[in-house]
Amino acid sequence: MHATVGGKEILKGVDLTIKDGEIHALMGTNGAGKSTLSNVIVGNPAYEVTEGSITFNGQDLLAMKTEERAHAGIFMSFQAPIEIPGVSMTNFMRAAVNARRQALGKEPLKSTDFLKIMREKRKLVEIDQKLMNRSVNEGFSGGERKRNEIFQMAMLEPTFCILDETDSGLDVDALRIVAEGFNKLRTEETSAMVITHYQRLLDYIKPDVVHVLIDGKIVKTGGPELALKIENEGFDWIKAELA
């Protein structure tokens, strides 16, 4: 799959299969195209796929709108979560949860049930109730934003999750809470693409497969040991192999 943003080709032939229940770690140099790949999968309209296809559970993702992909069970934890002034977290979540329910042919949640679920899921990532009355991400610290991403994931119960540097900006305790929260949410069919620069996240969320993306291509794929080697040695040895 090839993709461009702002007229510039960023992904130059990515070939990747993630099976049910698998965790794939995606590592790579800054600017390699990791976030681009994530955005393309979830359908950010700013990105254009110029060649190739993306299939999710047999469905042609590229033919689906962003929100339809979400309804199908795809979730992305944003590298830089967006602020939405004037829209409270509670209303935002209510709209999101009920939109998905509607797409699945379910009744909207009763208000009391919705608030009960909110309460339960908040506990999972230890996010404060007072943040729920604020506008989405407004005045949230970097760490709170990342927790908020996983909280939203908990509310929406996706089957395929992309974590785009969810660990960056988190202290050790917050990292543990967020990663353990993610693990609790996993079911047998949940698969994930975890983008990170650090082994410390992969200590909690153990990958089945590790990929290295450099300059818009997956240049190396291996097991968990590949992440450890990168942690110790960086990417230079891979670049040397390519040269």
Partner 1 sequence: MKSEQQYIELYNEAGALIKQKSCPVMNAVRDEAFRVFEAKGFPSKKVERYKYTDVDAAFAPNYGISLNPIEIKAPQPCKEGDARKQYVFSLKNAPIDLAPYYNNVADKADALTALNTALVHDGLLIYVPKNECPADPIQIDNWLQGTAATMMNRRVLVILEQGAQATIIINDHAADKQRFLTTQVVEVVCKDNSHLDMYEIEETTPLCSRFSNVYIREGRDCSVKHNSITLFNGQTRNLCDVYLTGENSEVTLNGCVITDKNQRVDNNTLIDHQVSNCNSNELYKYVVDGQSVGAFAGKILVEKDAQKTTSQETNSNLCASSDARMFTQPMLEIYADDVKCAHGSTVGVMDETALFYMRQRGIPEDEARTLLKNAFMGQVIDQIQLRPLRDKLYVKVEKRFRGELDKCEDCRLCK
Does 35 contact Mg ion by CB under 5 A? yes
Which 38-77 positions form the footprint of partner 1 (CB under 8 A)?
Answer: 42-46, 65-67, 70-71, 75-76
Task: Name the one range near Mg ion by CB under 5 A: 33-41, 98-106, 135-143, 167-175.
Answer: 33-41
Do residues 197 and 204 make contact, with C-beta atoms less than 8 angstroms apart?
A: no
Neighbours of 242 (CB within 10 A): 12
- Of 36 and 148, nearer to Mg ion (C-beta) is 36
Name the β-bridge partners of 172: none
Sheet of 209-214, strand order: 74-77, 160-164, 191-195, 23-28, 209-214, 217-222
Binders of partner 1: how many residues, by CB under 8 A? 32
Backbone angles phi, psi at 113, to 5 degrees: -65, -40
- Of 76 and 179, nearer to partner 1 (C-beta) is 76
Closest listed residue to residue 187, CA positions, set 77, 73, 61, 76: 73
Which amino acid is located at 1 in the chain?
Answer: M
Residues that bind ligand ADP (CB under 6 A): 5-6, 8, 10, 28, 30-36, 46
To partner 1, the closest distance from the beta carbon of 123 in angstroms equals 20
- Of 30 and 112, nearer to ligand ADP (C-beta) is 30
d(CA 121, CA 103): 22
d(CA 71, CA 143): 27
To ligand ADP, the closest distance from the beta carbon of 178 in angstroms equals 19
Does 38 contact Mg ion by CB under 5 A? no
C-alpha triplet 237, 241, 242: angle, nearest 5°: 120
- Of 46 and 243, nearer to ligand ADP (C-beta) is 46
d(CA 150, CA 51): 32
Alpha helices in the chain (DSSP H): 34-42, 66-71, 89-103, 111-125, 129-132, 142-156, 172-185, 199-204, 224-233, 236-242
- Of 99 and 115, nearer to partner 1 (C-beta) is 99
Residue nearest to Mg ion (CB): 35
To partner 1, the closest distance from the beta carbon of 26 in angstroms equals 18
- Of 81 and 207, nearer to partner 1 (C-beta) is 81
State the residues that interact with Mg ion by CB under 5 A.
Answer: 34-35, 79
State the residues that interact with partner 1 by CB under 8 A.
Answer: 42-46, 65-67, 70-71, 75-76, 78, 81-87, 91-92, 95-97, 99-100, 103, 135-136, 152, 156
